[in-house]
Structure 1
Amino acid sequence: MKDRRQFQFAELEHWLNQNRVTEIECLVPDLTGVARGKILPREKFTEDRGMRLPEVVVAMSVTGEYPREGPYFDVVSRHDADLHLAADPSTVCIVPWAVDPTAQVIHDCYDRHGQLVPYAPRSVLRRVCELFDRRGLVPVVAPELEFYLVARNTDPDLPLKAPIGRSGRAETSRQAYSIDAVNEFDPLFEDVYDYCEKMELNVDTLIHEVGAGQMEINFFHSAPLDLADEVFLFKRIVREAALRHDMYATFMAKPIAGEPGSAMHVHQSLVSKETGRNLFSNEDGSPSKEFFWYIGGLQKYIPACMALFAPYVNSYRRLARFTAAPINIQWGVDNRTVGIRSPVSTPQARRIENRVIGADANPYVALAATLACGLLGIEHRIEPTRECTGDAYQSAFALPRGLAEALTLLRAETELADVLGKEFLTVYTEIKDLEHEEFMRVISPWEREHLLLHV
């Protein structure tokens, strides 16, 4: 996204006039990463910058539910009070698929006293970035986001299938990094790049991943809040473009049985505010102590963060041995079998890649959590384990195996709560408990197939 961090409302008004905008989508990312909000006429947006929404709109489950009792209401008001929304002018961009000139602007959530609402995803990432800023540190991130293109499927009881490309055939074999396989969907991706250009998103490389119809888009490195906004908007772009070409785009972690899952690998590094130097490298080019402490923090706290990195029951289907997804928190240089990888790079570009995060994770929450792990590692000077130079898939499983176990670990980790905020974790874990309970009321095809007549 174009750097508009100093973009103010006067410039926003000029931008809206210049682009002859008649409608504005006022967006708020909720806990699941869904775009909530209102669509306003330009005049109404200009007149009334105090737009409001009910508090629970940001704190709902993926099915639109919320708890009726419990600690959730220690944070969210029982009387359904208002969120006071404030536009972030730096996020304004055109909605390229709209018929009339339409803009979209991401908003932050405040209470009536002017304080950021602590459980809103954007608030959590702002909180973590401010902690780095107070310590003279500038985090830099670059996500790699995987997703599947699938054939239209209007019946949730039917398995998803690879879509039909220009050849008239669906993929039936592994096509990793195949240029021709990407070109099967060239008209769709022409729309995607056109939309990204019009919305000024800084997307980099597009590749075909291992799965049938599985793609990956890379983003240029930037500040965490900017990148979270870009991932949030990019998901809207891909879904819209896919629909226009008679298919779906999905960021489910494991949409198709027998195919690899989809991740959001996040490259991260730290820069000194004072010197502008990459703190992961010493002046002689060797890895710094901060580099190793950051890895140590990831190793210690990733298990407790898994409910943030893998937020749904489906997420844990991705994390299986020999499926191109990590199963533990080992680290290594240029080793894709580990959960924490350091790519080969120059000292100035030395970085750490968190490979555990799923594509279904809320980008604001995931970036806040992975940065929190690294920050705690540096503050507590946590030394990592010995580097893994072999196949980490041969090692023991070291991540929670399901959402219920992950939530137990997250609730028990008090140091993460200090960084991410107790109010956020209270609301988040209560919502995830509710989703898990809803899932457990569903009887799956596997149960009917194997238990109906056999037990």
Structure 2
Amino acid sequence: MSYTVDEVMKFIEEEDVKFIRLAFRDAYGIQKNISVMPGEVKKAFEDGAPIETRNIAGFEHCPYAKLYLKPDPNTMAILPWRPDSGRVLRMFCDVFTPDGNEYESDSRVLLQNAVKAAKDKGINFKFGTETEFYLFKKDDDGNPTRIPYDEAGYMDIAPLDKCENVRREISLTIERMGLTPERSHHEKGPGQNEIDFHYGNPLKAADHMTTFKMVVSTIADRYGLVADFSPLPIPGKPGNGYHINIYAVDEYGNDVVKYAAAGIMDKVREMTIFMNPTDASFTRLGNGAAPDKVDWSDVGGNELLYLETYKDKTKVELRSPDAASNPYLVYALLIYSGLKGIEEKMELPAVGEEALFLPTSRREAAELAKKSDFVKGFVPEEILKEYTMG
């Protein structure tokens, strides 16, 4: 759906909207927000809503006392779990400086710039996602435990699969918010689930991933559970992946995603810190089905990239990222590395060719990023320091 500012204002007036959440994100893609009353929304559209950001990751060294949130009307969504009387509406915002310029360290702006760079070169990228998460019980005081909600396995059904009703409510809720879930099922781990999305334009896909994580956590809490997207919640059990499906065509409709895949492989070690930003990320890589090498195949396994062609359309599935990553930042880097592969017509190495290993620690990944001219060319210094210092 797409909306104009006037349509949003009319909706707020006619649909008894009393609170408007203006959402943005920190350097790691964690959603933040302020709430405003209906009378403040027009001002937010025109001038932005002021916020103090120096206590937010990636904004600590902001040179401005205040930044300003300007809502994107196309992202308007009602929060379905809130009361119908006095409804709550949410919009994603871009972050602006006091002089009206986009703030360069806002990762949503970074993604928009990447999409524009691709469009200027006649390339259209689309992304879809396959995201895994665990559901754990809470104790009598409402605190999270490490006790899985069930002991079911891969694609099991009820009664073994106790998560079925939770997944269904998540899927129906995100559908009401304008997202398009494709499929859901129980994963290999106890209490582990996967919900997949159809592909869409990169900005919408990143917005949807952010919405999805919020909805999963909210619905889990309503069931007395806690959702866990972390890379390896239970030692010795399957980790949580965040697989990204990539499509790319040129202005004539020609499939160019194989060139893009070669470009991504060429830069993936330098980008790993952004796709796997925590120490726990590196306990997942190389375990079970998670990749640990810069390789690919068309048969499926534990490779970094899985290429699938169906009805003359090729999809590239990138399998190393986890959901601790910032989708706006990751998608931007995938676009830029993919563009490099397309422009240079880079070829994929032969299947089974000896491959480099992905970084095995956060420190190694950080060092590769700090030394990368590619990364430094697209990632603002403030964000790069956030990921690589310490």
TM-score normalised by the chain length of structure 2: 0.92
Task: Give the Å deviation of 1:159.
Answer: 6.8
Shift of 1:216: 0.8
Structure 1 residues 299 and 413, CA gap change in structure 2 (3 angstroms): same
Q: Deviations over 1:50-88 (max 9, x none)?
A: 201124355349xxxx5xxxxxx4xx31xx522121100
| Structure 1 segment 84-163 matched on structure 2, within 5 A | 84-99=68-83, 100-152=86-138, 160-163=146-149
Alignment of 1:35-434 (within 5 A): 35-49=31-45, 50-60=48-58, 66=60, 73=61, 76-77=62-63, 80-99=64-83, 100-152=86-138, 160-163=146-149, 170-171=150-151, 175-180=153-158, 183-273=161-251, 275=252, 277=253, 279-280=254-255, 290-321=256-287, 323-347=288-312, 349-388=313-352, 398-418=357-377, 420-421=378-379, 423=380, 426-434=381-389
Aligned residue-pair number:
385
What amino acid is aligned across from residue 362 of structure 2 in structure 1?
L
1:327 & 1:271 partners in 2: Cα distance? 28
Partner in structure 2 of residue 441 of structure 1 = none
Q: Distance in 1 between matches of 2:277 and 2:14?
A: 41
Secondary structure, in 3 states, of the residue corresponding to 2:310?
coil
Describe the SS at the equivalent of 1:160.
strand
Structure 2: runs of 5 or more not aligned: none
Deviation of 1:140 (Å): 1.1
State the TM-score, normalizing by the size of structure 1.
0.79
Q: Please tell me whether Structure 1 or Structure 2 has the larger radius of gyration of its CA atoms.
A: 1
Q: 1:182 and 1:298 mapped to 2: Cα distance? A: 40
Q: C-alpha separation between the residues in 1 aligned to 2:271 and 2:159?
A: 35
Q: Which amino acid aligns with 2:122?
A: G
Per-residue deviation, residues 291-326 of structure 1 (Å, max 9, x unmatched):
4422221111001100010011111111024x1100
Moved over 4 A (4+): none
In the aligned structure 2, how far is the partner of 1:18 from the partner of 1:293? Answer: 49
Q: 1:192 to 1:113 in 2, by over 3 A?
A: same
Partner of 2:28: 32
Decide whether aligned partners of structure 1 residues 363 and 151 sit closer, same or farther in structure 2, where only a CA change above 3 A counts.
same
CA-based RMSD of the aligned residues comes to 2.3
- Shift of the 176–186 alpha-carbon distance from structure 1 to 2, 3 Å rule, reads closer
CA distance 1:297–1:11, shift in 2 (3 Å): same
**Separation in structure 1 between the aligned mates of residue 281 and residue 50 of structure 2, nearest angstrom:** 33
CA contact (8 A) 1:140 1:271 kept: no
SS at match of 1:44: helix
Give the Cα separation in 2 of the matches to 1:378 and 1:272.
Answer: 9
Task: String of CA shifts for 1:372-422, please: whole Å, max 9, x gaps.
Answer: 221121223332210239xxxxx766111111111110111112332x24x
Contact 1:334 1:344 in 2 (8 A): no
Deviations 1:201-227 (A, max 9, x none): 111100111111111111111101001
Which residues of structure 1 form unaligned runs of 5+? 67-72, 164-169, 281-289, 390-394, 438-455
Corresponding letter in the other structure for 1:244: R
Query: Would the alpha carbon gap of residues 47 and 128 (structure 1) be closer, same or farther in structure 2, given more than 3 Å must change?
Result: closer
1:23 correspondence with 2:1: no
- The secondary structure found in structure 1 opposite 2:227 is strand
